[in-house]
Chain A
């Protein structure tokens, strides 16, 4: 062991190269002979492609290839639903779908050539509103119909629960799509070599899932493709397997047999990226007078757009995850995922959790008022606790939710602010809160969730980590480096994490489901301890003592019994090589958590640990203009153990900002299925000026299954913001907004309706 590294608020290991502008993102990659591609998108939501005339584009000097749906592999790619092609083949299903691509010597030439492609479309009736998707007469998005997925879950006796309930409340909530808004729009450079092998540098959360998808979309063996993760400027779920431009770039490289770069503009990224899944949620809950939830009925209608992608998995989370946060027995859920002729929607930080969190926490606030009970008290009353098994079979190894509630209650000044008289002026303030849970890991992707780390300790005693778990900005490399450095007894600066590369790194799923800290962190711990064992064994041999009495402190192997017995770590590492026939220290460790796959009824302990969070906010509502301003926010995250408190605060604060954006500022606008505000001037994400000082706290519940007690800490924090704000708005002006975003118009309309009902 060495001076504490785990638990310290350390800057990210990537901070220096990023702030110096030295980090290499995919768009920075330059390969000799590299060409540039631009993509032609459908202006129609639903149309048959009658013909595409590429002759004029091909004739433009500098154009190397014009590719259309007729040229792409017949094999379809997708997650569970194989339904997408590299480019649209004969039919477009949403405005913005890629119809053709031009490869040229420069982006400017490629762009010019796009204008010369003549596409003859025959427009067909488009289904734009998910509400009508299942009506008999609705235009069909896919031949098999518009229902992409349906989930039905029933536990306990819901009807009996409602029959016995003292109060019952039901309401419908609507949530809208959010753009992941990462700083780095998608970029990919793909190149074939003389053997035909394809190498792809791209911005991804998972190189192995990316490779799998490319193998499928390009219809070629997995091992003929090598995916290398460049520095990723944020992913938020959209860079798992749903963005489409990396697939197109890879295919184009195989067509021209030269390196091709596809770097998306912000507009292109918005059109080909992946927004979150919009939902309509009908929620009915029954409670006893003491606040106990005795029945819950959930109906979800979710819109995946034109292609399913990860949306069925997202909807499953919407449908049942938050049930596990509370001690409930009777719950029934029916969730339907429908196609529409709109842009595909899917994975987004929180993975379906934000949608239901909005409904559930709004509902809890309403029912607390009905009971005359404090909302925090109502959450505390129902909160699941350490040691419980939830209604869907989740083993709660640690639960810091009550502590999170305590923290936010004190930090926001909840009791005083709730007790103050209601404002009557033009500007009115209110406070609101919400409580949430999330998984740390998830076994549902193929009945395993393991992670493998390879660790090399060089002859100078410094370490190199090989993994394919992705650092997309959330800090995975820092977390791994901290655990490695601490366990090996070396400084943090002596650890390097290799960029994920499918040809050299062990197989990993990547950064999804908040699984990297809890699983890869564990594998790292095991690998470091294994390496340490080898080092100490070699040192014992060299020093002539027992390995048991040795430890590594600040880069020196030291006997605990005899102060004169020590050796610098590099000496032992060299000794290991020289005395073992050249075998350096190279260890591999896998950690597959002891979780189970959900059964067909969605029952089973899918994650090794579960994270919790709570947030309280104070808002000021301008009753004349409808403007809502968040004036204070405090979020508490139960991350088990903060391996790096600075990183946890960063994640919590960033999540709080992103949720403020979703709730109040960001609003994707469509006209006939076309995105009308596909730029950051009109799709307004939060700015520094538009958020208050963001505060957060950490609860350390020390999960028995987490590495050093740690759980995931990047996703839970996105979940509570929206309902906390909606609840605070209600507290301020008595208007309950049930459909997001909370726009000034909705505030004014709500106030007007309230006024009218008071005078009626």
Chain B
């Protein structure tokens, strides 16, 4: 690791000023679980590390039935998983955050840090996209909001402009008729990072899905909404055959990563399996008796 200056701004304004001043030579430290590894391996060598640790307001998780959920970017994954409001109103999110990576990462890593690092092999993006999340970004010129689906743009690349800091993630108010599931798959049980994951939300209209969001993550460079399958599933009762057909569609439509943790064909196969399963589970069907 190269030497760097560790800065601890006391206010968001101060943090933004530092980010504007040092631009490309600065990195935000929001938990450090990924950043420090990258610095140790010298993939990143910032001259200034701007810690957000003193900005307590960015740790808060607040809920309001009218406005929904607001998660500070510095909330740790375990904070998200354990927050009573998250558990009560967004169990899909609580489950995702509680199953992410490993206990060390969950207790140290933050949701904002995770999103800004934009490593594809992770859980939050697909889940948040399916839940219609938005992100709030503070910059020199003020605040802006972006849908989550527009935030991550490529491998390790986000829509953040130089000098900007992600401050919050917001989720719309829960709707009693809208349900969701999230599933991750590990290449082997010893892995910490998903080789593929799938997030599903929809409005349940008398057992038939409407407003379907089906998002694949980890197997692809950027979490991807599966629009063809979403359309296919809309207003169609889910049977095992429908689930299998949608899963095949999704496996065909993704543009998978191919690397040491899984070649393209393997990732398509896994995505197909977990998509079929999540759809079956959403409809209360048993996927275990027979393969597709």
Contacts and interface: CB of A to CB of B under 8 A. Distances in A.
A729 interface: no
Given A625-B273, A676-B260, A748-B266, A690 B189 contact: yes
Contact of B188 (A267, A427, A677, A744): A744
Given A426-B291, A687-B190, A682 B260 contact: yes
B289 to A, nearest CB: 5
Interface stretch (A120-128, A478-486, A645-653, A661-669): A661-669
B102 interface: yes
B109 to A, nearest CB: 13
B3 interface: yes
Interface in A675-689: 676-677, 679, 681-682, 684-687, 689
Contacts of A426: 287-291
Contacts of B1: 108
Contacts of A629: 189
A624 B291 contact: yes
B288 A425 contact: yes
Main secondary structure, interface of B, reads: loop
B13 interface: no
Interface string B178-196: 0000000111111111000
Interface in A432-451: none
Contacts of A427: 288
A691 B260 CA distance: 23
Contacts of A624: 269, 272-273, 276, 291-292
B41 to A, nearest CB: 8
Chain B CB count within 10 A is highest, among A265, A624, A744, for A624
Interface string A600-633: 0000000000000000000000111111110000
B26 interface: no
A686 B16 CA distance: 42
B250 interface: no
A686 B192 CA distance: 11
A677 B290 CA distance: 36
Nearest to B40: A265
Contacts of B263: 745
B261 interface: yes
B254 to A, nearest CB: 15
B192 A681 contact: yes
Interface string B249-265: 00000000000110100
B235 to A, nearest CB: 27
A686 to B, nearest CB: 5
Contacts of A664: 188-190
A691 B190 CA distance: 8
A302 to B, nearest CB: 25
B259 to A, nearest CB: 9
A105 to B, nearest CB: 14
Contacts of A689: 102, 189
Interface residues of A, number: 35
B278 interface: no
Nearest to A689: B189
Chain B CB count within 10 A is highest, among A669, A686, A745, for A745
Interface in B20-52: 37, 40-41
B270 interface: yes
A664 B40 CA distance: 29
Contact of B289 (A425, A625, A669, A682): A425
Interface in A86-111: 108
Nearest to B260: A669
A627 B189 contact: yes
Contacts of A625: 185, 269-270, 273-274
Interface string A346-375: 000000000000000000000000000000
A424 interface: yes
Contacts of A744: 187-188, 266, 270
B225 to A, nearest CB: 23
A267 B1 CA distance: 14
Contacts of B192: 681, 684, 687
B246 to A, nearest CB: 15
A691 B189 CA distance: 8
A685 B190 contact: yes
Nearest to B263: A745
Contacts of A690: 188-190
Contacts of B188: 627-628, 664-665, 684, 690, 744
Given A424-B290, A425-B290, A669-B260, A627 B190 contact: no
A426 B272 CA distance: 13
Chain B CB count within 10 A is highest, among A627, A664, A679, for A627
A427 B287 CA distance: 10
Interface in B221-260: 260
Nearest to A751: B291
A627 B277 CA distance: 15
Interface in A656-674: 661, 664-665, 669
B189 A661 contact: no
Given A425-B290, A682-B260, A684-B191, A745 B186 contact: no
Nearest to A685: B190
Contacts of B2: 108, 112
A424 B289 CA distance: 7
Given A108-B1, A427-B288, A684 B273 contact: no
Interface in B102-144: 102
Contacts of B276: 624
Contact of B187 (A108, A627, A687): A627
B266 to A, nearest CB: 5
Contacts of B186: 627
Contact of A687 (B102, B270, B292): B102
Nearest to A107: B1
Nearest to A692: B189
A748 B189 contact: no
B270 A686 contact: no
Contact of A682 (B40, B261, B291): B261
Chain B CB count within 10 A is highest, among A686, A691, A744, for A744
A426 B289 CA distance: 6
Interface in A724-748: 744-745, 748
Interface of B: 1-3, 37, 40-41, 102, 185-193, 260-261, 263, 266, 269-270, 272-274, 276, 287-292
Interface of A: 108, 112, 265, 267, 424-427, 622-629, 661, 664-665, 669, 676-677, 679, 681-682, 684-687, 689-691, 744-745, 748
Given A691-B189, A748-B266, 18 more contacts: A108-B3, A425-B289, A426-B287, A624-B269, A624-B291, A625-B270, A627-B185, A627-B186, A627-B189, A629-B189, A679-B41, A684-B190, A684-B191, A684-B192, A685-B190, A687-B190, A745-B263, A745-B266
Q: Which 10 A-B pairs have the closest CB atoms?
A: A690-B189, A624-B273, A665-B190, A690-B190, A684-B190, A665-B188, A426-B288, A625-B273, A669-B260, A425-B288
23 contacts: A108-B1, A108-B2, A265-B40, A427-B288, A622-B273, A624-B273, A624-B292, A626-B266, A627-B185, A627-B186, A627-B189, A628-B188, A661-B190, A664-B188, A665-B188, A665-B189, A669-B260, A681-B37, A684-B192, A687-B190, A690-B188, A744-B187, A744-B266
